[in-house]
């Protein structure tokens, strides 16, 4: 039995689920709730949660990324540069690039929103639109990455 592969797949899916679950919670629960509370209270809450959120998502994305690379190479189908031009290799590369982009862009979202959503003790007039557009990038990346995972499962 490929025990190493099973453990690696478990780690990959565990941290991928943590990442996806955290993103869903932030987008669908945390931000809509913050925008319904008084601005100073919402700002205090968001500021306090920012560091822990960054650690949780940074660690989850890092482990998901590294375990995904190992899962596709040493423990998977990609063993030479030629394998990158197969359908599986192309899907793998898209997942690689989309996750890398998300890991670079993701940590900037929170601090950017902290600057743009509040002005003094009030919300800025277009706070809701700013939140929606900032979070849309992470949503789109996650949907693309998840589609890649499903395709790779079927050998594509």
Query: Does 145 help bind ligand HEM (rule: CB under 6 A)?
Result: yes
* Residues written for the chain: 156
Q: Map the footprint of ligand HEM across residues 7-26, applying CB under 6 A.
A: 12-13, 16, 19-20
Query: Does 138 help bind ligand HEM (rule: CB under 6 A)?
Result: no
Nearer to ligand HEM, 20 or 35 (CB): 20
Nearer to ligand HEM, 82 or 121 (CB): 82
Q: Map the footprint of ligand HEM across residues 53-92, applying CB under 6 A.
A: 64-65, 68-69, 71-72, 76, 92
Residue in 105, 108, 113 with CA at minimum distance from that of residue 137: 105
Burial 7-33 (b: 16+ CB within 10 A, else e): ebeebbeebbebbeebbeebbeebbee
Query: Does 95 help bind ligand HEM (rule: CB under 6 A)?
Result: yes
Site size toward ligand HEM, by CB under 6 A: 22
User: Residue 99 and residue 106: Cα distance in Å, rounded?
Assistant: 10
Site residues (vs ligand HEM, CB under 6 A): 12-13, 16, 19-20, 64-65, 68-69, 71-72, 76, 92, 95-96, 99, 142, 145-146, 149, 152-153
């Amino acid at each position: 039995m490929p025990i190493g592969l099973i453990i690696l797949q478990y780690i990959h899916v565990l941290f991928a689920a943590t990442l996806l679950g955290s993103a869903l919670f932030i987008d669908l629960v945390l931000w809509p709730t913050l925008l319904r509370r008084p601005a100073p209270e919402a700002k205090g809450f968001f500021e306090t949660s920012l560091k822990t959120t960054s650690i949780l998502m940074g660690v989850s994305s890092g482990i998901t990324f590294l375990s995904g690379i190992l899962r596709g190479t040493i423990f998977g189908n990609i063993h030479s540069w030629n394998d990158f031009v197969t359908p599986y290799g192309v899907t793998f590369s898209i997942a690689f690039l989309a996750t890398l982009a998300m890991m670079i862009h993701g940590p900037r979202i929170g601090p950017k929103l902290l600057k743009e959503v509040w002005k003094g003790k009030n919300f800025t007039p277009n706070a809701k639109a700013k939140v929606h557009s900032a979070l849309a990038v992470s949503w789109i990346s996650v949907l693309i990455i998840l589609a890649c995972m499903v395709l790779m499962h079927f050998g594509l």
